[in-house]
């Protein structure tokens, strides 16, 4: 553990532990903040929404480190705001992003230093101190896979409602899926919100995502669809891969903000959440509905998407996200006519290589942080 006795550090958003906890043990949080600091750590909210309040703790020599790993949705919007702020100040800013910003940085003149790589995302999700830590906890003695697919869908998102609709329209058995569409419950935990759900259905109808008949189907469908939960009471949802991940194929609907709007960035910025990591860590085949181009990013990182079994080309080159989702569900229906479990079991070496790659990339993410610390902050 490295200490920092000679410099004053402020963890403004209480998020320093996400990727920097191995480097610092002496620092103040916002409740202890007083005076001017040598280094201030910010997350997205502090930088984008509360920076005027941050200024009272800094002078021209203060270094500002902004970590937006694990919350890079609508990345272009943040980058525009960040450039506006940093262009107006003389301070040295450092931005950490779990994406590839090469195209953006080659075309936009910025004053700040940017440390960007997908490996940072893997480290943020596998770092045990992180608030986004993705835990794997399976009881191997009680674990047995059964053929088919699974898909766990928690918070209410447009893409998850449309996914449910496509499953119904394609007559796909979704007994091993969950559609909780939750909100935070007043007493703690999460609970299905019927009012919010029906409001979103009305908006989808108004925006022509669904038809009148689709609206009726979704409104009358018994909800929530939950695996291993009782919906009558608020529940606690842990970010854990456990024995419920017992299907050979995992259909992931990413929860990145703005997914259904398509590629609004002229620089093709792609981000993903811990959900993309789950099939690999759970030893499953992946089908991931994310931003356009995500499959290409995963292949470039070294992941095996099992293209010899899953026809990703049937959908992955479709830019319209709604149409891409529809074609994905058609491919899912085709796969369910095959023995997915047999294919998975016959390719365990490839499955394990994917799981090990997650940890390799996480280690590379730490190496990036360690190099930054040694060359810039020591």
Find, among 7, 2, 66, 65, the residue nearest to 37 by Cα.
Answer: 7
Spans in the chain with pLDDT lower than 50:
1-3, 228-230
Residues pairing with 114 in the sheet: 95
pLDDT for 160-191, tens place per residue? 999 999 999 999 998 889 888 887 777 777 87
* Cα–Cα distance for residue pair 25/118, rounded to 1 Å: 26
pTM to 2 decimal places = 0.93
* Cα–Cα distance for residue pair 276/294, rounded to 1 Å: 10
* Cα–Cα distance for residue pair 291/277, rounded to 1 Å: 15
pLDDT of 5:
60
pLDDT of 3:
47
Q: Is 184 helix (H, G, I), strand (E, B) or coil?
A: strand
pLDDT of 1:
37
* Cα–Cα distance for residue pair 9/25, rounded to 1 Å: 10
pLDDT of 221:
85
């Amino acid at each position: 553990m490295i200490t920092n006795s000679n410099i004053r550090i402020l963890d403004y958003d209480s998020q320093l532990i996400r990727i920097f906890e191995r480097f610092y043990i002496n620092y103040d949080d916002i409740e202890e903040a007083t005076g001017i600091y040598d280094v201030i750590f910010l997350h997205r909210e502090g930088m984008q929404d509360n920076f005027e309040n941050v200024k009272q703790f800094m002078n021209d020599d203060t270094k500002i480190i902004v970590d937006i790993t694990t919350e890079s949705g609508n990345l272009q919007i943040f980058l525009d705001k960040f450039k506006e702020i940093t262009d107006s100040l003389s301070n040295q800013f450092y931005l950490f992003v779990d994406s590839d910003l090469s195209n953006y940085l080659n075309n936009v003149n910025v004053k700040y230093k940017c440390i960007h790589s997908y490996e940072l995302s893997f480290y943020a999700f596998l770092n045990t101190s992180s608030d986004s830590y993705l835990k794997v906890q399976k009881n191997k003695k009680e674990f047995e896979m059964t053929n088919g697919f699974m898909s766990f869908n928690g918070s209410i998102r447009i893409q998850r409602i449309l996914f449910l609709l496509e499953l119904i329209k394609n007559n796909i058995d979704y007994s091993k899926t969950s559609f909780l569409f939750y909100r935070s419950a007043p007493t703690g935990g999460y609970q299905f919100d019927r009012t919010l759900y029906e409001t979103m259905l009305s908006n989808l109808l108004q925006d022509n995502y669904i038809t009148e008949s689709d609206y009726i189907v979704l409104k009358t469908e018994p909800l929530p669809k939950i695996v291993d939960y009782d919906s009558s009471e608020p529940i606690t949802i842990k970010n854990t891969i456990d024995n419920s991940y017992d299907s050979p194929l995992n259909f992931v609907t990413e929860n990145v903000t703005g997914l259904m709007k398509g590629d609004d960035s002229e620089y093709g910025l792609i981000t993903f959440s811990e959900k993309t990591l789950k099939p690999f860590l759970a030893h499953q085949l992946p089908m991931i509905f994310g931003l356009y181009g995500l499959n290409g990013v995963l292949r470039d990182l070294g992941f095996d998407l099992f293209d010899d079994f899953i026809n990703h080309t049937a959908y992955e080159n479709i830019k319209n996200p709604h149409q891409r989702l529809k074609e994905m569900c058609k491919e899912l229906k085709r796969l369910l006519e095959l023995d997915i479990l047999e294919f998975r079991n016959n390719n365990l070496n490839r499955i394990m290589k994917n799981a090990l790659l997650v940890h390799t990339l996480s280690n590379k993410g730490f190496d990036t942080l360690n190099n930054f610390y040694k060359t810039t902050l020591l």
